[in-house]
Amino acid sequence: MIAYNSERISLALLGKTNSGKSSFLNFISDQDVSIVSNQKGTTTDPIKKSMEIHDFGPVLFFDTAGFDDDTNLYEKRIEKTKKAIEKADILLYFLSIDDKIEEISVLKEKYDKIIFIATKQDLEIGKDLLEKFKDFSPLAINIKNNHDREKFFDKIKSAYKIEDNSITKSLVKENDLVLLVIPQDAEAPKYRLIKPQVMTIREIIDKNASAVSTNLKNLENTLNSFNKKPDLVITDSQYFKEVYNILDKDIRLTSFSVLFSAFKADINYYIESVKKLDQGAKKILIAEACSHPPISEDIGTVKIPKLLKKRYKDIEIYFQRGEDFENIEKYDLIIQCGACMFNKKYVMERIKQAKEKNIPMTNYGIVIAYLNGILDKISI
């Protein structure tokens, strides 16, 4: 599988200023990734570094601003740090001698996947850290000792079990014929496929199945060229109805958006939530992960609102893009995109927030299938 950042295991480096976060990242990556300085506020936006850990897999480090940054940009920097925490599969907290035992205890109780790290083991303060926080079993790291890299990697491997995630799950098995209907409209980048399409094709090939791609216009010709029916058809959600009407009804159909709902979200919650549309939902939030400017054929800002307003005359539609996900309690329903640019941890964090506020949440593919009356016909 291609190691996109959103599919890497994310590790957020947290702690007070000058606790050794940036020095550690440079040490682990064996590169000058972060600026190291005694001056507070050196790290502003989280610095990202992707790498591969042998016998573990691809990871993405976030070096964040210190919690006690007292510069003028403190509030904005801390908001960025909070976003990094929401995305992180593993939290790495770098202990400072100024940390209070009570505060560290709260962190340990709040986060189940948190590793406390005591750096500066080449200095006397490093020993002081180990003694003060011994009840938290901190990992002692000396950045002047190359063997401590492997010690850290071993700790990560023991602390985090990688799930055997699959996009197509049991829908595709060895020797299957899978037909992908990929529309190349104004939203499609020229000369390349979008991320969900590439990832799905790669997984199909990895399963020793066959992936055949076509567009909507050529769908019937492609079907007629086969000497057997495809075992599964995957399309873009916005063409659910057109593809469904062409296929024989015994051919299984799904979409990239629906597959990604099951891959990195709570698809059962999505399916249950979409029913809110016929239960009086008035204020609808459409949350688009991508931050590209919307275009005339945009599915999130144009096509789905058009479908919704055709059926529900008095609804109000609002939009948030990128990492914006604010004041969600004022909406009756949230419609999230496929979120291919977000990792699973961050998508599930959004769902958690929605559930805590009792706000139904669904996604593009589920909504389109529901509005076309074929949700119960879609393979999930």
- Domain termination residue (choose one: 232, 260, 288): 260
User: What is the mean predicted confidence (pLDDT) over 256-270?
Assistant: 93
Place 1 in a pLDDT band, splitting at 50, 70 and 90: very low
Given this model, what pLDDT does residue 178 score? 98
| 8-state DSSP, 17 | T
Residue 172 belongs to a domain: no
Q: Which pLDDT band, with edges at 50, 70 and 90, does 341 fall under?
A: confident
DSSP, res 136: G
User: Residue 276's domain spans which residues?
Assistant: 266-377
Percent of the chain with pLDDT over 70: 88
104 and 182, same domain (yes or no): no
Reported in sequence order, the residue ranges of the chain that DSSP labels E, i.e. its strands, are: 9-15, 47-53, 57-63, 90-94, 114-118, 139-140, 177-181, 210-214, 232-235, 253-255, 283-288, 316-321, 333-336, 361-363
Residue type, 271: I
User: Does 230 lie in the same domain as 132?
Assistant: no
Q: Which pLDDT does position 68 carry in this prediction? A: 62
Same-domain check for residues 139 and 247: no
Q: What is the pLDDT of residue 18?
A: 85
User: Rounded to whole angstroms, how far apart are CA atoms 152 and 2?
Assistant: 25
Whether 55 and 114 share a structural domain = yes
Has residue 290 been placed in a domain? yes
Do 153 and 104 lie in one domain? The reply is yes
Q: Are residues 36 and 135 in the same domain?
A: yes
Token couple for 112 = 């189940």
Question: For residue 185, what pLDDT band results from cuts at 50, 70 and 90?
Answer: low
Amino acid identity for residue 179 in this structure? L
Quickly tell me which residue has 């610095």 as its tokens.
Answer: 47
- Taking the C-alpha atoms of residue 375 and residue 271, their distance in angstroms, rounded to an integer, is 9
- 65: Cα within 13 Å, side-chain hemisphere: 22
- Give the residue-averaged pLDDT of 152-157: 94
Residue 170 forms part of a structural domain: no
pLDDT at 14 over 80: yes
Q: Are residues 82 and 141 in the same domain?
A: yes
* Residues 243, 315 within the same domain: no
Three-state SS at 120: coil
302, pLDDT greater than 60: yes
For 204-227, write each residue's pLDDT tens digit. Answer: 999 999 999 999 999 999 999 999
Last residue of a domain, one of 128, 159, 190: 159
**Domain final residue, candidates 226, 260, 294:** 260
The reported pLDDT for the residue numbered 29 is 87
- Whichever domain contains 125, its CATH number is 3.40.50.300
Same domain, 43 and 77: yes
The answer as to whether 166 is a domain residue is no
**Which runs of E-coded beta strand occur in 149-218?**
177-181, 210-214
- How is residue 299 annotated by DSSP? I
Backbone φ and ψ for 2, nearest 5 degrees, come out as: -65, 135
CATH number for position 284: 3.40.50.11410
Give the pLDDT of residue 160. 86
**Domain CATH code at residue 247:** 3.40.50.11420
Evaluate whether residue 188 is within a structural domain.
yes
**Considering the domain boundaries, does residue 171 fall inside one?**
no
Per residue in 79-112, pLDDT (tens digit) is 778 888 888 999 999 999 999 999 999 999 999 8
- Do 152 and 191 fall into the same domain? no
What gap in Å lies between CA 101 and CA 135, rounded to an integer?
A: 10
**Residues 46-56, buried b or exposed e (16+ Cβ, 10 A)?**
bbebebebeee
d(Cα 240, Cα 372) in Å, to the nearest integer? Answer: 8
Mean pLDDT computed over every residue of the chain: 89
Do 100 and 217 belong to one domain?
Answer: no
pLDDT at 58 over 80: yes
Please report where in the chains the tokens 């879609």 appear, as a residue: 378
What's the CA gap between 153 and 323, in Å, rounded? 30
Domain check: are 363 and 233 in the same one?
no
Residue 247 domain-assigned? Answer: yes
The count of domains in the chain is 3
- Under the banding of pLDDT at 50, 70 and 90, the label for residue 237 is very high
| CA atoms of 36 and 235, how far apart (whole Å) | 48
